[in-house]
């Protein structure tokens, strides 16, 4: 076994590999970019070395710099993680040429799978089922259009050298083919440096099921059963689980055998994943082999009881596979979701910024967390915005879903926006709970997974009242604390509205007691204000000490009686109009200047910003509809129009690339472009004005 390895990756991936190496007594070496000098993988590794600038091309994609570090520090092997150079055959060759072991498949196997077109032809020859399509090298648009018409619609255009959902377009009819082909090729060039595409028949409402395979240098190839990844948005997986709720035992065995056949066809060594699409009739078709460890490998680890990174290390060191096919078990059910810094309500726009608060559930036998950041770290614009992977395990699928719902309820992220609320709705949706989701379901029904625009449902009303009560109790606690620290702790002026309703508004022992309960600044009533999705909500409260009458003027002057409210840490118990509730409070909004307040009832959460009553803000459309602005920092990849051009409302003006995705920037209205302030290749900041329209 190796004594020291270098991990040619970052973040959660590197931290995951480091954990296994520690258990095996293997020393680890990390590499890092300028943006990652304080990152967790740097802090957790035994050694770490800088390799360049913040952009991946200047650091984590510099194979020569990584190999130089490995040679200098005496690393015997390089683990590429997943992403970056993990499927780069030239890098694997260079590592081996330097006398260092590559912890992954052979470069020859990668090259066979590096082209989707070549892989499809190879699998078809080996007897693995494939989808009808075109994989030829002739990329003439007219020929491709003719082939598309021959295959029939709907069909998919796919980047031949792509992955991760990039360079893929669904074409529904012949008239839209050429426009989507151009878009797909441009994205493929930007992401992978090559724009070759292949065409294949699009299977309607398919399931995405992948088989984990493992091979060793002694000729053995086995499979470790399946993962289902059908819950996807724009080809990006959002929930992975094992076993699949769709597969029968017979279909599982048939697909497993086909996956092993695929691995044998390319003399596969180390960890890999054979991906299939499966029709509603159970027919399955080869998509690709990912020649690396997958981001969703933890669900396989939990149901098999195996450490796949340990297997990778042992196989790379020349050992035989630790187990034979007939000894691979499958116990219980595991589900994984990924917490991202992104804004689902803004089209899942990736976010960045400091993680001012990061609250995650405690890890135990049922909950696993794989993360590369902690509270106080920064999610940068240069890399994937994933914060953590949350993986749960239990005896069966219903119990695992319940575990996942409970774990998500304990999560809270402050700083960049996150997808937590989206995930909570996802794991409660009937299509997920009943196991009938297909790869296109989320895109067809995305509105079903989005939060409501207003606080109007009874459950949300309770959460709003809970947030108000938390604020009231916090105000009273602060006043008591201030009074205790003052020179006159018994002064009535230092007591927050401490005269209870029902006592005639008097403190019997106070000479300042007044019959109507008047107090400076309160008048027997306290007013609070919140902002939710740019809407201001004002409330009035009477009472104290956990008993209140709360009025919500914006909601038809509704009044609610609250009794027996108690806040124990983050847990709030109270009775609302006679109904006992237990809620959880997160946030930093318990200050005089306002802040976030998040209330959760175990099923849904309500995010509010507590603001001072005197603060009123007015927001208007950026530039009154005359500007095209960057929604986030990024790089301009194409500019479609020039100053003086006429433009229609919604017409694409330019495209920027940020956090591994393309963002189309469109005109806010019809008019004439007065200025275009960016060219392809420019790096732009968030909210930068990139083009302006002439004032009407």
Question: pLDDT tens-digit profile of 213-246?
Answer: 999 999 999 999 999 999 999 889 999 999 999 9
**How does strand 634-639 pair with strand 652-658?**
antiparallel
The confidence band for 521, taking pLDDT boundaries of 50, 70 and 90, is very low
- State how far the Cα of 520 lies from the Cα of 498, in Å rounded to an integer: 12
- Give me the residue spans of the domains in the chain: 4-103, 132-201, 208-449, 458-611, 622-693
Is residue 393 pLDDT above 80, yes or no? yes
Exposed/middle/buried for 561, CB within 10 Å: 0-12, 13-18, 19+? middle
Q: How far is CA 127 from the centre of its chain?
A: 36
Give the lowest-confidence range in 274-283, 410-419, 486-495, 574-583.
Answer: 486-495
What is the pLDDT at residue 295?
95
What is the pLDDT at residue 624?
47
What is the architecture of the domain spanning 4-103? 3-Layer(aba) Sandwich (3.40)
The confidence band for 619, taking pLDDT boundaries of 50, 70 and 90, is very low
* CATH homologous superfamily for the domain 132-201: ATP-grasp fold, A domain (3.30.1490.20)
What is the pLDDT at residue 458?
59
- Percent over 70 (pLDDT), the chain: 90
Which option is the CATH number for 622-693: 3.30.70.260, 2.40.50.100, 3.40.630.10, 2.60.40.720? Answer: 2.40.50.100
Is residue 681 pLDDT above 90, yes or no? no
| pLDDT tens, residue by residue, 214-223 | 999 999 999 9
What crossing angle do the helices spanning 11-24 and 308-316 adopt, rounded to 10°?
A: 70
Is residue 473 pLDDT above 80, yes or no? yes
Please state the rounded mean pLDDT for residues 134-160.
Answer: 94
**How does strand 77-79 pair with strand 526-532?**
unpaired
Please state the rounded mean pLDDT for residues 183-208.
Answer: 90
DSSP letters for 440-490: THHHHSGGGGSPPSSS-SHHHHHHHHHHHHHHHHHHHHHHHHHHHHSS-TT
Please state the rounded mean pLDDT for residues 197-203.
Answer: 91
Is residue 649 pLDDT above 70, yes or no? yes
- State how far the Cα of 406 lies from the Cα of 410, in Å rounded to an integer: 7
Is residue 251 pLDDT above 50, yes or no? yes
What is the pLDDT at residue 209?
98
What is the pLDDT at residue 659?
66
What is the pLDDT at residue 494?
52
| pLDDT tens, residue by residue, 149-162 | 999 999 999 998 87
What is the pLDDT at residue 127?
93
- 43's CB contacts (< 8 A; 6+ apart) are none
What is the pLDDT at residue 513?
34
Q: Catalytic residue positions? A: 292
What is the pLDDT at residue 506?
38
User: How is domain 458-611 classified at the CATH fold level?
Assistant: Glycoprotein, Type 4 Pilin (3.30.700)
Which of 451 and 207 is assigned the larger pLDDT?
Answer: 207
- State how far the Cα of 571 lies from the Cα of 291, in Å rounded to an integer: 46
pTM of the model: 0.80
CATH of domain 208-449: 3.30.470.20
Which of 422 and 161 is assigned the larger pLDDT?
Answer: 422
């Amino acid at each position: 076994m190796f004594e020291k390895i270098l991990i040619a990756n970052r973040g959660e991936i590197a931290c995951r590999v480091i954990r296994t190496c520690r258990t095996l007594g293997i020393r680890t070496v990390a590499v890092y970019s300028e943006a990652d000098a304080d990152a967790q993988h740097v802090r957790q590794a035994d050694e770490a070395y800088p390799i360049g600038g913040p952009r991946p091309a200047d650091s984590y994609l510099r194979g020569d710099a990584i190999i130089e570090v490995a040679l200098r520090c005496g690393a015997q092997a390089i683990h590429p993680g997943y992403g970056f150079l993990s499927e780069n055959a030239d890098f694997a060759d260079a590592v081996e040429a330097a006398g260092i072991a590559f912890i992954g498949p052979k470069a020859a196997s990668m090259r066979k799978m590096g082209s989707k077109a070549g892989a499809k032809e190879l699998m078809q020859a080996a007897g693995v089922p494939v989808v009808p399509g075109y994989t030829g090298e002739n990329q003439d648009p007219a020929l491709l259009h003719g082939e598309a018409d021959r295959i029939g619609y709907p069909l998919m255009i796919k980047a031949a050298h792509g992955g991760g959902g990039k360079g893929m377009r669904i074409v529904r009819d012949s008239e839209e083919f050429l426009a989507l082909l151009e878009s797909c090729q441009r994205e493929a060039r930007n992401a992978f440096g090559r724009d070759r595409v292949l065409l294949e028949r699009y299977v309607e409402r398919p399931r995405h099921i992948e088989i984990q395979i493992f091979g060793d240098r002694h000729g053995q190839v086995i499979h470790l059963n399946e993962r289902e990844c059908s819950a996807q948005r724009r080809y990006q997986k959002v929930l992975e689980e094992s076993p699949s709720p769709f597969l029968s035992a017979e279909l599982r065995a048939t697909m497993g055998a086909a996956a092993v056949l695929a691995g044998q066809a390319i003399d596969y060594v180390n960890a890999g994943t054979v991906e299939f699409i499966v029709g509603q009739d159970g027919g399955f078709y080869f998509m690709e082999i990912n020649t690396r460890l997958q981001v969703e490998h933890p669900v396989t680890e939990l149901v098999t009881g195996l450490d796949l990174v340990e297997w990778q290390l042992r196989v790379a060191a020349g050992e035989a596979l630790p187990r034979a096919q007939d000894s691979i078990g499958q116990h219980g059910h595991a589900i994984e979701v990924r917490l991202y810094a992104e804004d689902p309500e803004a089209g899942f726009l990736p976010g960045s910024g400091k993680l001012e608060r990061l609250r995650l559930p405690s890890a135990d036998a049922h909950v696993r967390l794989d993360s590369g950041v902690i509270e106080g770290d920064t999610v940068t614009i240069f890399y994937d915005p994933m914060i953590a992977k949350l993986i749960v395990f239990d005896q069966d699928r219903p119990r695992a879903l319940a575990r996942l719902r409970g774990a998500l309820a304990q999560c809270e992220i402050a700083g960049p926006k996150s997808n937590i609320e989206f995930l909570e709705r996802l794991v409660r949706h009937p299509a997920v709970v009943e196991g009938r989701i297909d790869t296109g379901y989320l895109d067809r029904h995305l509105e079903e997974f989005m939060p409501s625009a207003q606080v109007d449902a009874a459950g949300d009303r309770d959460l709003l009242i809970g947030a108000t009560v938390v604020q009231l109790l916090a105000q009273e606690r602060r006043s008591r604390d201030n009074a205790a620290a003052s020179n006159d702790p018994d002064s009535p002026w230092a007591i927050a509205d401490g005269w209870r309703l029902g006592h005639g508004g008097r403190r019997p022992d106070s000479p300042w007691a007044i019959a109507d309960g008047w107090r400076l600044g309160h008048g027997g009533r306290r007013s609070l204000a919140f902002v939710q999705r740019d809407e201001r909500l004002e409330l009035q409260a009477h009472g104290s000490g956990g008993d209140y009458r709360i009025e919500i003027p914006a909601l038809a002057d509704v009044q609610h009686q609250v009794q027996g409210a108690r806040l124990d840490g983050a847990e709030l118990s109270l009775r609302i109009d006679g109904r006992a509730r237990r809620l959880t409070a997160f946030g930093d909004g318990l200050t005089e200047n306002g802040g976030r307040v998040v209330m959760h009832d175990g099923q849904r959460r309500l995010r509010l910003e507590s603001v001072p009553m005197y603060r009123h803000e007015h927001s208007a459309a950026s530039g009154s509809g005359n500007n095209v602005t960057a929604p986030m920092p990024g790089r301009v990849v194409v500019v479609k129009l020039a100053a003086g051009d006429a433009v229609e409302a919604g017409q694409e003006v330019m495209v920027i690339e940020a956090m591994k995705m393309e963002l189309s920037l469109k005109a806010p209205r019809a008019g004439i472009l007065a200025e275009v302030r960016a060219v392809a290749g420019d790096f732009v900041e968030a909210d930068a004005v990139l083009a302006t329209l002439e004032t009407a």
